[in-house]
Amino acid sequence: MSALDDLYQELILDHYRNRRHEGVLERPSVAVDHNNPLCGDQIHLELLIEDGRIAEVGHTGEGCSISQSSASMMSEVLAGRPLDEALDLVEHFRLVMHGDEQADEDRLGDAVALEGVAKYPVRIKCALLSWMAAKDAMLNHNTHE
């Protein structure tokens, strides 16, 4: 493994052990539950949306280190972003996971460490679980405004 691979591995483990934005919000605007029945990964995601922006993110769940670290990374990337920008980031991450785009570190932050997951098709759903939950939550919120 290269030094960069080692660094990315450590970053994934750090997010797994020290999950950012983990927990529930006092008054979320929207909440969704997603799971991957094939492996048992689960996420409960809550967003507080104010003035067209993700003001707060909260998540709980269980599963493999990829799914849970991805939730932590996703929450860091999306917190504070306008909804349209957040939706664009989710789509960029989805395309990266499917090998259709090169990861943009400036946009994805720590989540760039998950780019290598694309080489393992069985793990792509693990990495995407929280991101698809975020997309669902944002679209769900938009239809209820």
CA distances from 126 to 12, 34, 76, 143 (A): 13, 11, 18, 27
Greater model confidence, 4 or 111: 111
pLDDT in tens, 69-92: 999 999 999 999 999 999 999 999
pLDDT in tens, 43-72: 999 999 999 999 999 999 999 999 999 999
**Cα atoms in the 13 Å half-sphere on the side-chain side of 35:** 9
- Give which of 119, 114, 125 is closest to 99, Cα–Cα: 119
In order of their start, the domains of the chain are: 3-143 (3.90.1010.10)
Greater model confidence, 31 or 10: 31
Is residue 39 pLDDT above 80, yes or no?
yes
Contact at 8 Å (CB) between 111 and 77? yes
Predicted pLDDT at 144: 60
User: What DSSP state is assigned to residue 36?
Assistant: E
Contact at 8 Å (CB) between 69 and 54? no
Predicted pLDDT at 3: 77
Predicted pLDDT at 143: 63
pLDDT in tens, 84-135: 999 999 999 999 999 999 999 999 999 999 998 998 898 999 999 999 999 9
